[in-house]
Structure 1
Amino acid sequence: MVQICFLLIGVFSALAGFASNEPIHWQEANKSKSAQLDLHWFVSKPFIYQDEFGNMKGLEVEMLNHFQLFVKEKYGIDLKLNWIESEDFVSIQDKIAGSPFPNSIGVSAFSITEERRKRMKFSTSYLSDVTVLVTAKGTPIVKTLDEINKLMDGKTAVTIKGTTYEKFLWEIEKQLNLHFNMLYIDSDKNILEEISKTEEGFGFIDLPIYLMLIKNGGELTRQNFFTMRGNGYSFVLPPNSSWDIPLNEYLSEPESKVKIAKIVSKYISPELFVFIENIYGEDNLGASILTKEKEIQLNHIKNAELQLEKEKYFRSLLIIFIIVITVAAIVIFILLYNKQKFIRKLSKQKLQIELQQKNIRIKNEKLLNRNIQLTSLNEERNNLVKILAHDLRTPINHITGLVEVFQIKQTNLPKEDIGLITKIKESANRLNQMIHKILDLDALEGNRMKVIFEEIDVNQLMVELKNSFRQSTENKNIHLDLKLKESILFKSDHLFLTQILENLVSNAIKFSDSGSEISLSVEQIDNKVVFKVQDEGPGLTQNDKQLIFSKYQKLSAKPTQGESSMGLGLSIVKKYVELLGGSVWVESEIGKGSQFFVSLPYKKSEA
C-alpha cells in the first residue's frame, strides 16, 4: 500500500512538471497576480534550443524571459515559464489547436499562414519572414521550366517535417508536376550543412540563416525564382486563449521592440537584422537579396585580403626581431671580449679592478635580461604589435631629446628651420601619445582611457580638419565653411578632440544634400570652449533628438546618397566628450537643419 502511494505521488509530480493542472485565462491571472505559461517547443536554431548543460537558449527564449519581466513590472504578475519539449512541429500545432488550456503557447519560429490561422490564434509578428530556395554548390541558377525540371526532378529535397519549408516543397512539386525525394532531418541539424554534403540536393531555408552562411564564406547557390515572402514569425495560441492580449501589447511597445531588435541582432547580427526588416516590403525582393549577397561576398574577400596583409606584416616583424636578436648576440660577444681584455689590462690596480668588475657584472645582468626579453619576444609572436609599441618609446624619446638639444645649441636658425624642428618634436610627441593609446586599446569600454592634455591651437586644428574632408565635400558638392576668429589656445586631448569633430563633420556631410553648406565655428564662453557644427540637412524630430547619442539607433532621416550608418558615431562622440569633462547636445527642427554643440572646459595654456 505504501509503495502504491509513493508511485501515485511520483506520477502526479511528473505531470505537474509537464503542464498546468487547470486552464488560466489572462483575466484570471490579472486578478490572482500569479500564473504559469506552458511553452511547447521543438528545436529550431537559432530561435530555440538547449545547450550542452540543458539550459534553454535562443532568441525566442530571451524574448519570453523579457516578456516575463514586462508582465511583472507592468501588471505585478508573477509569471512562471514551463518549457515542454515536443516530438516535432506537427505535434506542437496539434496540441495548441486542440488544447483546453488557454495558457498553452507554441514556440519554435512559427510562420503565420492562413491554413494555420483556421486552427490557432497568432500573436503579433516579431520578425519578418522571408524564405529562399538553396541548392548545392556549383548548381547553375535556373531561368526556364526545363532548367527547373532538370534541377529538381528525381533529385533529393532536404527539409524538416511539419515546417513551412516542407509545405513550400510540396507546393512546388504539385504546381510544376515534379517528382523528387524528401530527405527529412532533425530540427537540431542544419539544412544548409546537409545540402552541402550532396551534389544535387536542395531545400528551403530562412533568409537570415542563408545570409549568415554567405557571410561565413559558404558557397551554396540561391535560386532567385523561389523567394517566398511570409507574414512573419509569431507565437501560436489556442483559439480560446486571451494571452494574446499581453503578448501583443509587449510586442507592440516601442521599448520592447528595441529590446527584441537587440535580442534578434545578437543571434543573426545587427547588419542582417536591419537588412531583413528594411527589404520586407520592397517589390523587387530578389534584386535586393542579390545585392546584399554580392556585398557580403565582397566583404568576405576584403577580409581575406586583410588577413593576408596581416600575415605578411607579422612575417616582416619576425624578420626584424631575428635581426635584432642577432645584433644583440654580437654586441654581447663584443662586450664580453672587451670585458676580458679590460680586466687583463687593469689586473695590477686592485681597487679599480674590483670596481670595474662590479660594473661589468651589472652590465652583464642587463645584457642577460635583454637577451631573455628578446627571446621571449621571438616566442610570443602574437604580441608583436604591443611589444613593438613598447620598443618605439625609446627611439621616440631619443628623437625628442635630440631635437631639444639641437634647439638649445642652434639659436640662430631661420624661421622655416625652426618650424620644421618644432613639427618634428610635435610629431614625435603625437606618436608617443598614439603608442600609449594603442597599449590602452580596450580601455574605452572599461572606462580606463587615459586623457593626455596638451596645448591645442584651435584654428590650426580646424584648418587641418577641413583639409582632411576636402575630398568628401568635393564629391558631394558641399561647401565646408570655417568661421575663424582670434585663435584660442587651451589644453585638452588632441586625439580625442580631433575624433569628436571628425565624427560630427562626417555625420553632417552624410545627411546634407549636394550644394548645401556646413559651417564649423568655435568661441570661448566664460570658462568653456564651445564648438558648433551646423548643417542644412533634413533636421531631427523630438524622438530623434532623444535617441541620437545612443548606440545602434536608426533615425527618421536617411543619408542623402545611401551612405552606410551603423548608429555608433554619435554615441562615440558623447563618450569622448564625457572623458574630456565636457558636454554635447543638438538643436534642430524638421526642415531647418541641425546644430551640434560640444562644450569643453577651458584649461588655459601656459605661456
Structure 2
Amino acid sequence: MKWYKMVLLIVCVLAAWPCLPVKAQDFTGQGDSWQEVFANKKGTVTALYDDIEPFIYMNREGVLEGVEHEIMESLKPYLKKKYGIELTIQWERAGSFNNIYNTVKTTRRQGIFGWSYYSITPERRKEVQFSAPYMPDLNVLVTNNREPMYATSQEFTVKLKDMNAYIMPGTTMEEDVQSLKEHFYPSLPVKKVDLDYDVLRLVAGDKNGFGYVPLSIYIVALQKGIKVKRQNVLSSRREGFAGVMPLHSDWKPILDEYFMSEDFRLLTGTIVARYLGSEVKDLVFGPAEQKAASATLHTLDLVSLEKEIVTKRLMDTALEVQRHQSMRNSMLVALFFIVLLTGVLYSRYRTKQKLNRQLQEHNQQIIGQHKKIGHMNRLLKLKVLQARMNPHFIFNSLNSIQYFIAGDDKKASLQYIGRFSAFLRKVINYGDELSIPVTAEAELLKEYLWLEHCRFPGRFDYEIKTGPNIQQASILPLLSLGMAEETLYKGLLNLPPAQKGKLVIHFNTENNCLVVFITDNGMARSQAIALEKKKGLNGQENMLESRIELFNAQNGKKIIRKIKEAEHAGDDNISILEIPQPLFSQEQA
C-alpha cells in the first residue's frame, strides 16, 4: 500500500471516530442477584452514577450525596429491618448519562443499578427495567434572558427560524427539542453538550438560544446565578424519574415493594425538600398529584419562587459591594477616631463608659447563670424521676422468667429473656436522655406490651398506631409507657378473667402538638383507685403526674393530660396526652 493511501485511510478513520457507537464502560463492582442476597442474608450491588446536582454529586468535603444517593442508600436499612439482610452498595462513577445507561443495558450481572435522573419512556422499557418513579418528571422550556415571555406556543414556534437549540444527547430533553424541530422547523440548528448545566450556561450566553431541562435542574441553576428565562409554554411531562436495572435483573420486585411503601413516600418528600427546599418540593410533587394537563406548573407559585431567588441573588451581590464599601469606610473612620482619641478628656469618658458597660454585662451574666442553674436543677429532677420509672416491672418480669423456667418451658423462657433484655437495654440507654423521638418511644412501648402480654396470656390484646407525620416529634422517655402501664394495671387486669381486655394506643400530630390517644375497655379509673385503697395498695399515678408537673413548671407550653372514664357498659376509657412540639426550646435543649 502506497504511503498516500495509508494517510487517506487514517484520515477517514479519524473522521468517522465520533460517529462510532458508544461502548459501555467496564467496571469492577460486584452485582449479586436478589436471590443470592436473600439466601445468604448479605451481598453487594453496584450503583453507577455521574455527578449532577442535586441528584447525585460530591460535596465540598468529598462525600457523595444527593437525592438519588440517599434513595439508594435507604434501601439498606429497609432490607435490614424487614429481611435481616446486610446489603453493601458500591458506588462507581461511570462517566456519563449515556455510558451508565449502555452499561446497565448490556451487563450480564443482575445487581447493577444506574442513577442519573432517568425518565421512564416506552422505548427505554424495551431495553432496561425501571424502579418505580421517585419523583415527577417535568421538562421546562428555557430561553435567553433577553427573550420576551411568550403567551402561546404558536408565538414561540414562529420564532424557531431565528433560534439555536442546545441538547444533552440520549435524554428526553433531546426528544422534546427534536419534536419541535420535526413539527415546526426542520432546519433548526441543534448543538449537543455533555450536561444540563452546560445547556443552561450556553443558553444564558446565546441571545437566540433555548433548550429543555428538568424543573429541578432549572431551580438549582437559578440559585447558582445562571441567568435564563423559563417560558410558560411547551413544557412536557413524563411518568417520572427512576433508577434503571438490567432487563434480566431479579431486583425489580423487591425495589418496587420498597418504593411503594409508606415509609419511602415520606422519606422521598423529606429528601427532595432537603436538597431543593420545601417550596420546590411542593412545586415538583404538586402537579403530579393533580393528574391534570392544565396543572403542569403551579405557575403563580413558581413565578413567585423565581422572583425570590433572583431577588436574593441581587441582594447578595449588593451586600457584597456594600461590605467592600463598609471596609473602606471603616478604615477612614478608624483613622479619624485615632485623632480624636488623642484627647485626654474624651479618653477618660470612653473608659468610664466602657467600665459601666462591663459592669452591666457582668450583672447580666450572673442573672443568666442563676437561671441556667435553676433550669439544670429542674432537668436533673426530671432525670431522677425518669430513672425511678417502673422498677416493679423489672421484678415482675423476673418472676415471669422464673415461672417459665419452673414450667420447663425453655423456648418461652429464652424468648422472653431475649425480648426482656432488649427492652431493658433500651430503658437504660434512654435513661440519661431528656427526650427521645416518638418513633423510639413507640418501639419501646411495643416491647413492653409484648412482655406484659406474655405475662398475662389471654387477658388482653393491644394495638399501637402511628400517624404519618410523627417522625420529627419527640417525647419525654417512658411517658406514654407510664400511661400504658396505668391503663393496663388499673383498667384491663381488673376485668373478670372471662372478659378479654383491649388496649389501643395512637400517636399523631395536631396543631404543633404530639397527641397520645389511649382507649381501653377496662375498669373505670375511679373504681380501680377505690379497689386499690380497699386492698391497701398505693398507686403509681403520682410518679407520672410529678414528671408532667415538673416539665410544665419550666416551660411556657404545657403537657396536658385528659382522662375520660367510661360512663356506660360497653364504653371505653379514654386517656389523652397533648405534648407541645418542639418539646424543649433551643435555649433549654
Shift, 1:333, TM fit: 3.6
CA contact (8 A) 1:129 1:230 kept: yes
Equivalents in 1 of 2:192, 2:226: separation in Å?
22
What's the counterpart of residue 258 of structure 2? 250
SS in 2 for 1:129: strand
Give the counterpart letter for 1:102 in structure 2: Q
Whether the 8 Å CA contact 2:153–2:233 is kept in 1: the answer is no
User: Which residue matches 1:297?
Assistant: 307
The match for 1:95 is: 103
Give the alignment of 1:160-559 within 5 angstroms.
160-187=168-195, 189-214=197-222, 219-282=227-290, 283=292, 284-286=294-296, 288-298=298-308, 301=311, 333=343, 335=345, 394=360, 543=467, 546=470, 549=473
Letter in 2 for 1:288: H
- Structure 1 distance, partners of 2:131, 2:169, is 23
Match of 2:114, SS state, is strand
- SS of structure 2 residue aligned to 1:241: coil
Q: What's the CA shift string for 1:317-350, capped at 9, x where partnerless?
A: x9999999999987984549xxxxxxxxxxxxxx
* Residues 1:570 and 2:578 are matched in the alignment: no
| Mapped contact 2:49–2:100 kept (Cα < 8 A) | yes
2:52 is matched with 44
Q: Tell me the alpha carbon deviations over residues 430-460 of structure 1, each in whole angstroms, 9 at most, x when there is no partner.
A: xx89xx99xx9xxxxxxx999799xxxxxxx
Match for residue 151 of structure 1?
A: 159
* 1:546-597 CA distance string (max 9 Å, x none): 568579xxxxxxxxxxxxxxx99837999x9796287436989xxxxx9967
Tell me whether 307-316 or 157-166 shows the greater mean CA deviation.
307-316
Contact kept, 8 Å, 2:120 with 2:242, in 1: the verdict is yes
The percentage of aligned residue pairs carrying the same residue is: 21
Q: In the alignment, is the contact (CA less than 8 A) between 2:33 and 2:249 conserved in 1?
A: yes
Q: What is the CA deviation profile of residues 95-119 of structure 1, one whole-angstrom value per residue up to 9, with x for unaligned ones?
A: 3233322212121111111111122
TM-fit CA distance, 1:256: 3.0
Q: RMSD across aligned C-alpha pairs, in angstroms?
A: 5.3
Residue number in structure 2 paired with 1:139? 147
| Structure 2: distance between partners of 1:393 and 1:571 | 42
Distance verdict in 2 for CA 1:326–1:16, change over 3 Å? closer
Sort the Cα spacing of 1:29 and 1:308 in 2 relative to 1 into closer, same or farther, 3 A.
closer
1:291–1:542 Cα change, 3 Å: same
Is the Cα contact below 8 Å between 1:111 and 1:230 reproduced in 2? yes
Structure 2 residue identity aligned to 1:18: T
Partner residue, 2:41: 33
Distance 1:297-1:598 versus aligned 2 partners, 3 A rule: closer
Alignment CA distance shift 1:315-1:102 (3 Å): closer
Residue by residue, what CA displacement relative to the aligned partner does 1:480-525 show, whole Å, maximum 9, x if unpaired? Answer: xxxxxxxxxxxxxxxxxxxxxxxxxxxxxxxxxxxxxxxxxxxxxx
Gap change, CA 1:28 and 1:203, over 3 Å in 2:
same
Letter in 2 for 1:570: N
How far off its partner does 1:158 sit? 1.7
Contact 1:217 1:297 in 2 (8 A): no
Q: 1:148 to 1:19 in 2, by over 3 A?
A: same
For 1:273, the aligned partner's letter is K
8 Å CA contact 2:114–2:243 kept in 1: the answer is yes
Give the secondary-structure state (helix, strand or coil) at the position aligned to 1:140: coil
Closer/same/farther in 2, CA of residues 368 and 275 from structure 1, 3 Å limit? same
Q: Is contact 2:283-2:297 (8 Å) kept?
A: no
Distance 1:579 1:202, change over 3 A: farther
CA shift for structure 1 position 242: 1.7
Alignment equivalent of 2:126, drawn from 112, 115, 118: 118
Cα distance 1:580–1:126, how it changes in 2: closer, same or farther (>3 A)? Answer: same
The alpha-carbon distance between structure 1 residues 288 and 32, as it changes in their structure 2 partners (threshold 3 A), is same
Q: Distance in 2 between matches of 1:110 and 1:120?
A: 11
Query: Relative to structure 1, is the Cα distance of residues 58 and 35 closer, same or farther in structure 2, using a 3 angstrom cutoff?
Result: same
Contact between 1:577 and 1:598, CA under 8 Å: does it hold in 2? Answer: no
Q: Which amino acid aligns with 1:297?
A: K
2:193 partner amino acid: I
- State the AA in 2 paired with 1:275: L
* Change in CA separation of 1:24 and 1:302 when aligned onto 2, cut-off 3 Å: closer
Structure 2: distance between partners of 1:332 and 1:544: 68
Give unpaired runs (5+ residues) of structure 2. Answer: 1-24, 378-464, 476-508, 516-547, 564-575, 582-589
- 3-state SS of the aligned residue for 2:43? strand
**What SS does the corresponding residue of 2:136 show, helix, strand or coil?**
coil
- AA matched with 2:177: L
SS at the partner of 1:230?
Answer: strand
Q: Distance in 1 between matches of 2:119 and 2:376?
A: 55
Q: Which runs of 5+ in 1 are unaligned?
A: 1-14, 337-363, 375-389, 398-431, 441-447, 454-540, 552-566, 589-593, 600-607
Which SS does the other structure have where 1:142 is aligned?
coil
Per-residue CA deviation, residues 172-208 of structure 1 (Å, 9 max, x unaligned), is: 2112233222222223844322211211111111112
Q: Answer whether contact 1:215 1:296 (CA < 8 A) is retained.
A: no
Instruction: Give 1:81 shift.
Output: 1.8
Alignment map for 1:33-72 (pairs within 5 Å): 33-50=41-58, 55-72=63-80
2:163–2:188: 8 Å Cα contact kept in structure 1? yes
CA distance in 1, matches of 2:190, 2:373: 58
- The alpha carbon displacement at 1:31 in A equals 0.7
Measured against aligned partners, the alpha-carbon deviations of 1:144-196 in whole angstroms (never above 9, x if no partner) come to 67643453325322221111111211122112233222222223844322211
> 1:582–1:269: structure 2 CA closer, same or farther, 3 Å change rule?
closer
Distance 1:302 1:450 in 2: 43
**Which of 15, 22, 28 does residue 18 from structure 1 map onto?**
28
The number of equivalent residue pairs is: 387
Code of the aligned partner of 1:543:
G
Distance in 2, matches of 1:271 and 1:183, equals: 33
TM-score normalized with structure 2 length:
0.53
Q: Tell me the equivalent position of 2:7.
A: none
- Separation of aligned partners in 2, 1:323 and 1:568: 55
Partner of 1:73: 81
* Per-residue deviation, residues 32-89 of structure 1 (Å, max 9, x unmatched): 1222212232333221234577653322122222222322333222222233333433
Write the distance in 2 (CA, Å) between the matches of 1:19 and 1:452.
Answer: 53
Does the 8 Å contact 1:251/1:257 carry over to 2?
A: yes
What is the CA–CA distance in structure 2 between the aligned matches of 1:155 and 1:185, rounded to whole Å?
17
Q: Is the 8 A contact 1:134 1:203 kept in 2?
A: yes
Give, in whole Å, the separation in 1 of the partners of 2:334 and 2:26: 72
TM superposition shift of 1:24: 3.5
Q: How far is the alpha carbon of 1:314 from its aligned partner?
A: 13
- The answer on whether the counterparts of 1:18 and 1:82 sit within 8 Å (CA) in structure 2 is no
Offset from partner CA, 1:366-404 (integer Å, 9 cap, x none): 878679x79xxxxxxxxxxxxxxx95995999xxxxxxx
- Does residue 1:580 correspond to 2:580, yes or no? no
- Gap change, CA 1:29 and 1:595, over 3 Å in 2: closer
